[in-house]
Amino acid sequence: MVTTYRPASVLEALRLKQQAQAEALFVAGGTDIMPAGRTAPVLIYLQGIDELREVSKSEDVLRMGAGCTYTQLIGDKRIPEILRESMQEIASPAIRNVGTLAGNICNASPAGDTLPLLYVLDAILVIGHMDEQGKLRTRRLGIEAFIQGVRRIALRPSEMVLAIEIPCAAYEQMTKLQRFKAGARKAQAIAKLSFAGLCRVEGEVLQDVRIAFGAVGATVIRSWTIEAKMQGLTLTELAARRTAIVHEYGRILRPIDDQRSTAAYRRQVCLNLLEDFLRL
């Protein structure tokens, strides 16, 4: 028998989870866990928690509640256009009406549609738990540390994701923003591979660059080491080193053959996208 709850607040949800521990499962949209047949003795539905559906934007940080659906975020002009475009390609309107960005992250699939973009946007997960006095405590974790492997995340049994935060500078100050998803169709298809790149050029000098690839490794692949080598290069120097940089990225991609594509195709398309992005 499955027991279900629909709490009205974050603290109530955390209290229920604390009581049930590993036997309980948080459910937001349920669009990933339902098809997989995942269940638990206790299901805690989060749709009734208004505070999880809030969006706010300060001068420095954009904050999206973990309960915000794709449809809600797509319609919110405070969300960067490039992120709204990526969510528009996820599944069908029916799925977008209930599915959540936080769910896409917590699902921790290497092919997650929004993940490469969230990596280059330096997304931060706001994680909450209830302390011994019944008060809400939070911690923040970068998305690259939060996602630890295929379907593996750094979330403790007593915790839940409260929000996703993105530094506004991660997209407002960029000169070039580019993303790409290869799939059997434009939407309603799992990605064969995906790419996201952001960069900022000032006075012919590359001041900031961020590059990430999806579906070519156990997690999204982003190399801060290679990025650091590119920062500070003039555009002429970058052009001269472009082939070597592409080759360096080629060594860290780990694509596989499966029913959706071949490793060779994934690798070559990723490197083609990278070379195109670096033509500044």
Q: Domain containing 99 — which CATH number?
A: 3.30.465.10
Do 258 and 183 have their domain in common? Answer: yes
What is the SS3 assignment for 136-156?
EEEEEEEHHHHEEECCEECCC
Q: What is the pLDDT of residue 186?
A: 63
Do 140 and 181 have their domain in common? Answer: no
Position 233 in a domain:
yes
Do 187 and 117 have their domain in common? Answer: no
Position 21 in a domain:
no
Whether residue 200 contacts residue 167, with contact meaning beta carbons closer than 8 Å, is answered with no
CATH number of the domain where residue 216 is located: 3.30.390.50
Do 61 and 161 have their domain in common? Answer: yes
Do 163 and 181 have their domain in common? Answer: no
- Look over the chain and give the mean of its residue pLDDT values, rounded to a whole number: 94
Q: What is the pLDDT of residue 1?
A: 81
Q: Which of 116, 166, 139, 135 is nearest to 270 (CA)?
A: 116
Final residue of a domain: which of 169, 197, 214? 169
Q: What is the pLDDT of residue 188?
A: 63
Look at the block and give the residue holding tokens 């996602």: 147
Final residue of a domain: which of 169, 191, 224? 169
Q: What are phi and psi of 119, to 5 degrees?
A: -65, -50
**Higher pLDDT pick, 273 / 188:** 273
- Residue 119: pLDDT over 90: yes
Do 165 and 191 have their domain in common? Answer: no
Number of domains comprising the chain: 2
Do 94 and 140 have their domain in common? Answer: yes
Position 152 in a domain:
yes
Do 165 and 180 have their domain in common? Answer: no
Do 145 and 245 have their domain in common? Answer: no
Position 235 in a domain:
yes
**Higher pLDDT pick, 9 / 186:** 9
Q: What is the pLDDT of residue 280?
A: 92
Do 229 and 123 have their domain in common? Answer: no
pLDDT digit string, tens, across residues 59-110: 999 999 999 999 999 999 999 999 999 999 888 899 999 999 999 999 999 8
Q: What is the pLDDT of residue 187?
A: 59
Range(s) of the domain holding residue 127: 51-169
Position 2 in a domain:
no
- Residue 39: pLDDT over 90: no
Do 164 and 183 have their domain in common? Answer: no
What mean pLDDT is predicted for residues 13-26? 89
Position 32 in a domain:
no
Do 193 and 156 have their domain in common? Answer: no
Position 100 in a domain:
yes
Position 252 in a domain:
yes
Final residue of a domain: which of 169, 192, 211? 169
What mean pLDDT is predicted for residues 53-63? 97
pTM: 0.95
End-to-end Cα separation, the chain, in angstroms: 59
